[in-house]
Structure formats: C-alpha cells, structure tokens
C-alpha cells in the first residue's frame, strides 16, 4: 500500500509537469486516499501531505502564480545577461522556419515534405542556358588571376550589359527580378568557372546598396539608383569592416556628426563623416559607396538622443573627400577588393538610406538583409566548389591509373571520393531547399548562418580531399590546373560575412536558441515587462509550457533510445529509418539544450565550445532533412540511396559525437550523468558509414550516368578539349567508351590468348579490330593530356615571359 501510494504521488507530479490539468485530476485522487488514511490514523503517512501539497500548488494556476512563479521569475531575471541593442536586433532579425521544428524535439516531417520543390521560371532557365553559359565560356581563370589580375574588359562589359549586376532588382527598375533559386544558380554556375568572376557578380546582388535600397530606400532613392545599378552604370560596394572592427562589426569606430554644412551651393542639414574601411569588395572600381558608421547628434538637431546609433548612407565615390585606396589581393583572387577612407567628409542628411527616418537603424537593416542574403551567395559558391570537386575528382580517379588500376578503385581513394560525393549531394540539397524558403518569403536567419558555415567548411573539406586525389596535378599551377584557384579561395569564403569560428560558436546556436526555442523568447520577453501582473501572467504561461516541453522531450529521448527509434514518427518510405533516427536526435538535442540553458543562462554564450557543439547538432539535423527532402523531390531514385545512406550516417554519427561531447563537458556532473541516461540509455548507437556504402558512392562517381550527373547539376561543363576541364570530360568519356575493348584484351591475356600489351598485338591476335585499336590510342592520348601539368621558364615565372605563358596556355 505504501509503495503504491508513493508511486502515485510521483506519477501525479510527473503528470503535473506534463500537463497541470491532468496532474490536478491525479492529485485529487491521491488527496482522497491520503484523507482516508489520515482519518483512520494510519501511522507514518502524514509526511506525504508535503509532496502532495506541492503537486497541488503547481496544478492550480492562481496558487502557482501567487507562490511559485514570482521566485522563478526573479531567478530568470538574475540568470539572463544584459542584451545590447545590436544583440536585440540580431535576435529579432529575419524569421523562423523548419529549423524550429528540429530544435523543438518533435519535427513535423509532413511539413518538411510539403515544402515546394525547387524550380526556375522559363526566363530564369533561359538566362542560365544563354548569357550565363556564354559568360562561362568567356572566362579563363588563369588569365584572370595570374596575368591580368582582373576580369578582361570584354567580360566586364558583358556582365554589365546582360544585367548580371541587377539580378535582385525588380523589373520595374530595369533589373532581372530573379528568384533566390535563380540568383543562387547563376552565381554557382559562374563559380564553377571562376571564383573571381562569381564574387564580382554576387556582391552587387548580396548585402549592399541594391538590397538595402529595395527594403529601406526612399522612393526618390530607389528611382534614382536602382535603374543605374541594374544597368551597371553604377558599380556598388558596401563598407562595413575596418581595422578596429571585424567580426565585432557593431563596435565600428567610424563616426558621423550631425551638423549644418554646404552642399551644392546651399546650407543644409547633414553629417560630417570620418571613416577608415578595408576588405571592401568592388571598392577599387565602385562608383557608389554604401557606408556604415555610428551617428552622433551632440547639438540635438535630430532629436533628444545624442548617440543616434549605427546608420547607413550612400555616397558617390567622386564626392569630395572620399579616398579609394589601392587594392588588396585576397587568396590570389582577382576580384576587386580594397580599402577606403574619409576625414570630415560632409554629406547631406538625404543620403542616409531610407532618409532621416532610418537614422540609427542601420544595424537592424543590416541584420534583416543578412538574414536572407547570407543564405544565397556564399552557400552557392561553397556548394559549387563541392560539386566541381566531386565531378572532377571522380573523372580524374577513373582516367588516372596506378598499379595498373584506375586510382578510384583503390579503397583508400574510394573512402575520400565517397566523402566528397556525400558533401556535394548534401550541400546541393540544402542549397535548393533554403532557396525555396527564401522564395516563399522566409528570412531564416539561423538557417542562413548554418548554410554559410557548412557550405564554406565543406568547400574546404572537399577541395582538400580533391587535392589529395589529384596529387601533383593539383599542386602545379598553370592553365591545366582546375583546382588550385578555388583551393586558394577557401579562406576567403571562410572569413567573410561572419568568420566561421564565430558563426558556429555564437550565431547558429546563440541566435538559434533564442529564435527556434518554442518558449525561451516568450519567457525573456515576459521577464522584461514592467507591468508586474502582466509579467507574472505571461511568464507563467510560457514557463509551464516550457516545463511540459522538457518532460516530453526527456520521455521521447529515453523511449527512442531504448527502442532504437522504432516508435518515432516517419513517412512511409525507404528512408523511414533515417527520419526516425533524426527524430530521436532532435529530442535529445532539445533536452540537453534546455538543461544547459537552465544551468548556465546567459553564461552559455561565453561557453563557446559547448555552444559550438550544439550548433553542429542543429546544422546536421537541417542538412540531413534537406538530403531526405531532395531524394523525395527527385523521385526516390534507387541508385542514389547509397548517397543518402552515406550522408545520413555521417550526420547522425556527428550529432551523436557532439552530444557526447556536450555531456562529457557539462557544467554540472550530476545533471550530465542523468542526461546521459536519458540520451544514451543503451550507449552510442550511430556508426560511421559502412565501407560497402562508401564503395557504392565511389563507384557511381567513376562512370557516366544520370546519378553521376545529379552530383554536379548546374555547373559549367566545357566541351572545348583545349580547356583543362573540357579535356578531362573528353578523356573520361573516352575511357568509358573503350571499357569493353579493354575488357576483351584483359580477358584474352588471362586466357593466354594474348601475350603482348599493345593494342596492335590485340589486332594481330584477332581479339580487337584496327578501329578499336585506334580508339585505344586516342583514349591514351586524351588521358595523357589530362595528367600532364604546366611548366615554365624562369623568365616566365619572373614576369618577363607573359607572352610565352599566354601562348603556352593556348
């Protein structure tokens, strides 16, 4: 009897935490039992009234709000860190999308599968097939990066004339008005030919004057500048970073003082600016400078606030006092980039983007634009690098032989190929799905940070791996090298638009925890209310729901761990087991994140190692969801299942590894131990991809097929055999076409019917025809052209033999 009653009280308490109403029903039943025992004078049961009273106290809303919620509210206020204005703008920026489901612990897979499939409008596809293809054919990256250190004049003219600089500008202002999907596809295709050209095109279409004007410009500013930007008459740049403020862009020292001054012959209200900026892409050739600075109003000419805040302005670069510096040369890339500065430069107040109304609102403007823009350009660049690495590495590993075997058939190379293929497949899946979200009107700030970080990190992984496979071919620079330029550009992508170290450790989880958590932001907002009664009421609603949320995730994490996720919700598909595994890991992530937030509060943002591990978990959940969605969108091709299995195995293993790292370093060992039981009740279960799966992925990368082409959609495929990649494509096809001929000779040698090694010996033995022998010779010549590397004289390398280098390249 005593054991049953105690169990009933515990069950009542747990039920209460799940749902106060249900807990109240259980508490009433136990009350009747306790009352009966008390009336009968049953010994030793009076102490059980205390836990029952606490259970009842929690279940009754008026009592809970009177007794329990005020102390909890006080504690939360003590734990919360002070939030700066820039942090508040960053948290509020953009929208929340499917990543919130993944962070909740209970992802809705029907919602994922209901996301529309990616598609392009007819005019967008025509632009990709026409002007973009033509531009790619014009690009010679060796000439751009090593000889001209710039795009050729005819390329600049073509980019301006065809509207590449105005893809995001609506048609009503003379732009192309492209979707995010098309914008990403165009940048990606150009990047497969030249990073320098891709950056030149992507910057005017990313965070900068064009986008800021679209969202915040006055009508007069839009009508004046947008048509000029769309036509290429104006070349924009945006200056945010300076020597004293890089990743901490909110601390910019550049300043403007509101004052009166002369402009175009008359006195106007304006700003006297002093700034020093660097790393500004397109800065050396820009005609229009977007500038971020902190605005001060000491004479209160705008209002009562003296420190107005970060403000954005547009300044023609020919304006007196604007100094455009010399060029930087980042990562041996030839896109225009350099410093600029100004000292006491007077501009009229009307040059503020959005006019006087938007003075001091610059950080909000930047964060809102970055919430979407960061999800397009650099992810397109990183994804393309992975796709080209996958295609060219597979082709090279097939045509290049060592030990009388294509090197792609060596198990060590297979393992590397499989990882390259997996990253390429995963990034393309995530790129497409993210662009769909943008075209649906979402501005998923957390997803954009995930995409920027993961695309550029996997760019680094795939290009490093591709260089390993290519060996000497990859490290000898020259016109025949199709990897080195992108390889040198890796640190550029890693660094810009938020350095990856800080993006991972501060933004993805720091912002994700605030925005994606179903209750945390509501609790913080309630804690900040001045009206005490309203604060208690709102906090109670959010807090009780939060406690119930934690209990449900704890139960799900334990249940799925004990049952190997058998009972997790999943669509009816061949990949159902992966949906179930992701559901389990989602619940485990939500549970551990809540525990860390409860224990550390605001301190968690300074525990960057823990925060980074949480970020990895959320990122892998998002990328894995995109992989599953892509496989469905493409019609569930059976031949691509190996790619799906390999990619999901990598992701789930990484999530589990990072969760284990979180628990091993948890700030409270007791809580960490309890969480380990709930998260890993039967130990860690997710293993690395099987060798068999890796072999299947590598094998599909070594022969022409629809599956092979799906690894690198949208990149430029050269048919010019004088081009390094065109020569590789030709050799790859020739090797595939002569595989059967090679097989006949090999079988004849094994049977003792052929002693010689040459094709002519096969002809003489009647094994193959003369025409087939000629095909083998042509194939050998094509392969030799691919494996050869460039060489230079000392004069050429010293810069005295440029003409010879150009002749050699041709």
Phi-psi map region of 217: left, alpha, beta (phi>0 left; psi -120 to 50 alpha): beta
Instruction: Tell me how far apart the alpha carbons of residues 276 and 344 are, in angstroms, rounded to a whole number.
Output: 12
Instruction: Tell me how far apart the alpha carbons of residues 769 and 775 are, in angstroms, rounded to a whole number.
Output: 10
Residue given tokens 């980074």 in the structure block = 612
Residue 98, phi then psi, degrees to nearest 5: -65, -20
Strands (DSSP E) along 297-451, which ranges? Answer: 307-316, 323-324, 337-348, 401-402, 405-406
Residues marked active site are found at: 497
Instruction: Tell me how far apart the alpha carbons of residues 809 and 791 are, in angstroms, rounded to a whole number.
Output: 10
Give the torsion through C-alpha atoms of 471, 476, 480, 481, to 10 deg: 60
Instruction: Tell me how far apart the alpha carbons of residues 787 and 778 are, in angstroms, rounded to a whole number.
Output: 15
Question: Tokens standing for 585?
Answer: 């890991």
Identify the DSSP state of 118: P
385 with 232: CB under 8 angstroms? no
291 with 351: CB under 8 angstroms? no
Instruction: Tell me how far apart the alpha carbons of residues 431 and 396 are, in angstroms, rounded to a whole number.
Output: 26
Total residues found in the chain within this entry: 810
Instruction: Tell me how far apart the alpha carbons of residues 163 and 175 are, in angstroms, rounded to a whole number.
Output: 7
Question: Tokens standing for 755?
Answer: 């002693």
- CB atoms < 10 A from the CB of 107, how many? 24
Considering only CA atoms, give the Rg of the chain.
Answer: 31
3-state SS assignment for residue 297: coil
Residue given tokens 């390249």 in the structure block = 809
Instruction: Tell me how far apart the alpha carbons of residues 80 and 71 are, in angstroms, rounded to a whole number.
Output: 14
DSSP 699-764: HHTSS-SHHHHHTSTTS-----TTSHHHHHHHHHHHHHHTHHHHHHHHHHHHTTS----SHHHHHH
Going by C-alpha positions, the residue among 388, 445, 43 that lies closest to residue 188 is 388
Q: How, if at all, do strands 288-296 and 236-239 pair? A: parallel
3-state SS assignment for residue 41: coil
Contacts of 150 (CB under 8 A, 6+ apart): 144, 334, 336
Q: What are residue 260's DSSP bridge partners? A: 269
């Amino acid at each position: 009897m005593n054991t049953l009653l105690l169990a009933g009280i515990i069950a009542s308490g747990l039920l209460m935490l799940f749902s106060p109403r249900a807990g109240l029903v259980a508490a009433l039943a136990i009350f009747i039992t306790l009352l009966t025992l008390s009336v009968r004078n049953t010994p030793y049961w009076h102490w059980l009234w205390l836990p029952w009273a606490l259970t009842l106290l929690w279940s009754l809303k008026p009592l809970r709000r009177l007794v329990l919620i005020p102390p909890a509210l006080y504690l939360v206020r003590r734990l919360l860190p002070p939030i700066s204005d820039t942090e508040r703008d960053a948290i509020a920026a953009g929208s929340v999308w499917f990543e919130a489901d993944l962070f909740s612990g209970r992802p809705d897979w029907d919602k994922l599968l209901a996301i529309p499939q990616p598609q392009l409008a007819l005019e967008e596809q025509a632009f990709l097939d026409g002007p973009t293809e033509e531009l790619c054919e014009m690009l010679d990256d060796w000439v751009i990066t090593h000889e001209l250190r710039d795009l050729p004049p005819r390329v600049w003219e073509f980019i301006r004339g065809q509207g590449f600089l105005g893809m995001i500008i609506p048609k009503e202002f003379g732009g192309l008005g492209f979707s995010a999907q098309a914008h990403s596809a165009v940048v990606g295709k150009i990047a497969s030919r030249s990073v320098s050209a891709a950056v030149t095109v992507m910057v005017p279409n990313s965070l900068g004057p064009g986008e800021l004007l679209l969202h915040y410009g006055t009508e007069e500013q839009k009508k004046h500048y947008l048509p000029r930007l769309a036509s290429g008459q104006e070349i924009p740049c945006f200056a945010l970073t300076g020597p004293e403020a890089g990743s901490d862009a909110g601390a910019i020292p550049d300043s403007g003082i509101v004052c009166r001054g002369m402009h175009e012959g008359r006195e106007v209200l304006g700003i006297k600016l002093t700034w020093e900026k660097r790393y500004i892409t397109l800065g050396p050739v820009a005609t229009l400078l977007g500038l971020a600075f902190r605005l001060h109003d000491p004479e209160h000419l705008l209002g009562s606030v003296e420190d107005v805040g970060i403000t954005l302005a547009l300044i023609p670069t020919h304006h007196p006092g604007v100094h455009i510096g010399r060029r930087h040369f980042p990562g041996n890339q030839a896109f225009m980039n350099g410093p600029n500065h100004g000292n006491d430069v007077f501009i009229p107040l009307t040059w503020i983007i959005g006019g006087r109304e938007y003075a001091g609102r610059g950080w909000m403007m930047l964060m809102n634009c970055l919430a979407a823009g960061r999800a397009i350009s650099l992810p397109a660049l990183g994804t393309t690098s992975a796709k080209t690495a996958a295609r060219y590495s597979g082709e090279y590993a097939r045509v290049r032989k060592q030990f009388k075997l294509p090197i792609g058939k060596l198990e060590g190379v297979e393992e590397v190929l499989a990882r390259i293929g997996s990253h390429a497949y995963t990034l393309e899946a995530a790129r497409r799905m993210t662009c769909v979200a943008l075209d649906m009107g979402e501005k998923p700030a957390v997803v954009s940070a995930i995409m920027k970080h993961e695309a550029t990190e996997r760019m680094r992984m795939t290009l490093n791996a591709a260089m390993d496979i290519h060996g000497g071919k990859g490290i000898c620079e020259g016109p025949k090298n199709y990897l080195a330029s992108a390889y040198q550009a890796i640190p550029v992508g890693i660094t810009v638009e938020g350095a990856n170290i800080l993006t991972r450790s501060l933004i993805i989880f720091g912002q994700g925890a605030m925005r994606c958590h179903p209750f945390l932001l509501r609790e913080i907002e309630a804690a900040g209310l001045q009206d005490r009664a309203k604060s208690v009421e709102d906090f109670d609603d959010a807090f009780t729901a939060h406690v119930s949320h934690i209990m449900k995730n704890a139960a799900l994490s334990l249940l799925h761990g004990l049952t190997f996720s058998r009972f997790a919700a999943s669509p009816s598909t061949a990949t159902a087991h992966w949906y179930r595994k992701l559901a389990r890991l989602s619940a485990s992530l939500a549970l551990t994140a809540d525990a860390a937030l409860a224990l550390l509060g605001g301190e968690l943002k300074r525990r960057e190692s823990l925060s980074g591990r949480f970020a990895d978990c959320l990122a892998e959940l998002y990328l894995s969801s995109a992989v599953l969605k892509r496989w469905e969108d493409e019609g569930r091709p059976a031949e691509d299942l190996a790619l799906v299995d390999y990619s999901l195995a990598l992701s789930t293993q990484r999530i589990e590894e990072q969760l284990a790292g979180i628990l091993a370093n948890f700030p409270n060992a007791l809580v960490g131990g309890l969480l380990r039981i709930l998260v890993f009740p039967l130990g860690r279960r997710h293993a690395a991809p099987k060798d068999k799966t890796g072999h299947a992925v590598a094998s599909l990368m070594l022969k022409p097929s629809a599956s092979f082409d799906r690894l690198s959609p949208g990149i430029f495929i050269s048919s010019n055999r004088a081009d390094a990649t065109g020569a590789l494509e030709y050799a790859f096809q020739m090797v595939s076409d002569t595989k059967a001929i090679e097989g006949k000779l090999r079988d004849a040698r094994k049977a003792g019917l052929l002693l010689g090694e040459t094709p002519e010996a096969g002809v003489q033995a009647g094994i193959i025809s003369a025409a087939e022998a000629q095909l083998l010779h042509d194939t050998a010549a094509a392969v030799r052209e691919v494996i050869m590397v460039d060489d230079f004289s000392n004069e050429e390398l010293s810069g005295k033999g440029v003409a010879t280098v150009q002749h050699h390249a041709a």
